[in-house]
Structure 1
Amino acid sequence: REVRLVQGTHLCSGRVEIQHGITWHTVCDADFDLQDAEVVCRQLGCGIPAKVLGGSGSGPIWADVFECHGKETHLSQCAVSSWNRAVCSHGHDAGVICNGEDLDGTVRLSGESGCEGQLEVQYQHTWSKVLLDSWSIREASVACRQLGCGSAVRIYSSSLSGTGDTDVCLTGYQCSGTESHLVNCNAPDTVNCSSSPYVSIVCSSESLRLVGDEGGCAGRLEVFHQGSWGTVCDDSWDLNDAQVVCRQLQCGTALRFTSFGPGNGSIWLGKVGCVGNESSLWDCPSAQWRQHDCGHEKDVGVVCSGM
């Protein structure tokens, strides 16, 4: 089973989630102890657990109780209690803070807002600035996603500031833009900081919108990707997909999906396949960005209840 920690302050902290098929499940904190947390931290390359804590997520809950000894390298190697299936609510989701022996790629922004400011990346146990010369909207998209700040809206240059530990800067990052963490991109090069501009980014949680209704709860679906808004093809689209969009936009439930006319720009997504209980469209499987055979006449629209 794949494991991840979500909504923490860095890659090695957050609510525990397990992937089953294409769906991520939260884990009930009933009997989830340091031995179980030790396996999770080891599997993620995050050292040893510093703390086990509770959380509150959404979506399906993994009810089986793990009985790890603490020496396993993967959660799938742990025994599962065959008699003790927890009755759990999302007020009792398990969370873990690992000590983070391997925190390379952890990011932070030095501005007043947690989602805007000069970028700093932890690499080889040092916080460093990033040179603007090789940074693009693709890398910024990964950093914003990692910060839990939605999509990258803007990149701009800034002079040396912030709280970086040394005069060593990073350059040479190359991401596709779909990675969940900078550690999944190539390893950067370390260089001496110079008079070159440094990267600052602006992220926005407004990564989805419905265009066509003043209230924002009905209209053509548009997603923000690589610095621009684009549309979604209606291939394979159904009411389950619309339900996730309405939930993510806090627009109640999906009433129907229909056409609100053709959009313009890129058609970013196609073949979306939500189950319907996901909290975000980004949790649903889909074709790769721009991988479709659609024209704008197939741009999908959604009508939500608005409550």
Structure 2
Amino acid sequence: MEFDGHWYAGYRLANGSTRCLGRVELRHGGTWETLCDSQWDLQAAHTLCQQDDCGFALSIPAGQLFGTGDGYVWNGTFGCKRNESRLRDCPVTALGTTECPPGSEASVVCSGCLGGRLVNGTECSGRVEIRHGDTWGSLCASHWDLQDANVLCHQLNCGYAESIQGGAHFGEGNGTIWSDTFHCEGTESCLWNCSRMALGNPACSPRDTARVICSGP
């Protein structure tokens, strides 16, 4: 049995202790089924972590760490690049039900860092956006510093912060602009691990939004 890799209802992580780790399952024909790990790689896992707003992939552990799934076991090659933000955007080849040895279910452990991203630049540079609830908005630059930027770069698997100056080509903030204050030491693994004060949505010029250029992955 085979189907076009772009015809499905989605992917999910199952049987993990949090929503950011688990066994990879895909929805096909109304049921959730298992993905074999023979062609599963860190880049595809990274894309799935991003899609689920779970940071980046720390590992793709082998074995049955997250149990076994029901139904068909699918196998395929995901041609994910670093710029895809959803697994469905990656080209998929040879996706079908094939032999998959017991204990070879695909899985991923994501970093679990939530709520921060870079826009209007590259994967590792851009204007900083953070999320409150379901709302993404630009971050006001009034309290943004290099230590905060270092943590965000690390959170996004982008090395360290080279600069928080310039970047006019990243554009102005539009819509909601948040004015959170992060008191990072620069060694935290996630921006949300820093001491933080949420100042809401005060007056802040769209030209005065936080930005960062990270060293790269």
Alignment pair present for 1:192 and 2:121: no
Which residue number corresponds to residue 180 of structure 1? 85
Which residue number corresponds to residue 139 of structure 1? 44
- Provide the rounded CA distance (Å) in 2 between the counterparts of 1:180 and 1:230: 19
Which string of whole-angstrom CA distances, capped at 9 and with x for unpartnered residues, describes residues 83-114 of structure 1?
xxxxxxxxxxxxxxxxxxx7533322222322
Does the 8 Å CA contact 1:169/1:192 hold for their aligned counterparts?
Answer: yes
| C-alpha distance 252-160 of structure 1, shift in aligned 2 (>3 A) | closer
In the TM superposition, what are the counterparts of 1:193-272 in structure 2 within 5 Å? 193-195=99-101, 197-206=104-113, 219=147, 221-222=150-151, 223-224=153-154, 230-234=159-163, 236-237=166-167, 246=182, 249=192, 251-252=196-197
- Provide the rounded CA distance (Å) in 2 between the counterparts of 1:183 and 1:174: 11
Percent of aligned positions with the same letter in both sequences? 20
- Provide the rounded CA distance (Å) in 1 between the counterparts of 2:68 and 2:36: 15
| C-alpha distance 130-163 of structure 1, shift in aligned 2 (>3 A) | same
Higher relative contact order (CA 8 A, sep 6+): 2
List alignment gaps of at least 5 residues for structure 2.
1-6, 117-144, 174-178, 184-190, 199-205
Which residue number corresponds to residue 106 of structure 1? 11
Which residue number corresponds to residue 83 of structure 1? none
- Provide the rounded CA distance (Å) in 2 between the counterparts of 1:204 and 1:141: 10
| C-alpha distance 288-124 of structure 1, shift in aligned 2 (>3 A) | farther
Does the 8 Å CA contact 2:8/2:26 hold for their aligned counterparts?
Answer: no
Does the 8 Å CA contact 1:108/1:147 hold for their aligned counterparts?
Answer: no
In the TM superposition, what are the counterparts of 1:282-301 in structure 2 within 5 Å? 290=216
| C-alpha distance 122-182 of structure 1, shift in aligned 2 (>3 A) | same
Which residue number corresponds to residue 4 of structure 1? none
| C-alpha distance 182-195 of structure 1, shift in aligned 2 (>3 A) | same
- How many Å apart are 1:169 and its aligned residue? 1.7
- Provide the rounded CA distance (Å) in 1 between the counterparts of 2:207 and 2:196: 18
- Provide the rounded CA distance (Å) in 1 between the counterparts of 2:146 and 2:92: 43
- Provide the rounded CA distance (Å) in 2 between the counterparts of 1:108 and 1:135: 14
- How many Å apart are 1:200 and its aligned residue? 1.6
| C-alpha distance 230-128 of structure 1, shift in aligned 2 (>3 A) | same
- How many Å apart are 1:131 and its aligned residue? 2.4
List alignment gaps of at least 5 residues for structure 1.
1-101, 209-216, 254-273, 292-307
- Provide the rounded CA distance (Å) in 2 between the counterparts of 1:139 and 1:200: 11
TM-score, structure 2 as length reference: 0.52
- Provide the rounded CA distance (Å) in 2 between the counterparts of 1:205 and 1:275: 30
Alignment root-mean-square deviation, CA: 4.4
Which residue number corresponds to residue 61 of structure 2? 156
Name whichever of 178-187 and 119-128 sits farther off. Answer: 119-128
Tell me the SS of whatever aligns to 2:106.
Answer: strand
Pair member with larger Rg: 1
Amino acid at match of 1:156: P
Which string of whole-angstrom CA distances, capped at 9 and with x for unpartnered residues, describes residues 173-198 of structure 1?
12113322211111351132421622
Amino acid at match of 1:198: E
- How many Å apart are 1:141 and its aligned residue? 1.5
Task: Pick one of 9, 14, 21 that aligns with 1:116.
Answer: 21
Q: What is the number of equivalent residue pairs in this alignment?
A: 155
- Provide the rounded CA distance (Å) in 2 between the counterparts of 1:135 and 1:190: 14
- How many Å apart are 1:276 and its aligned residue? 5.8
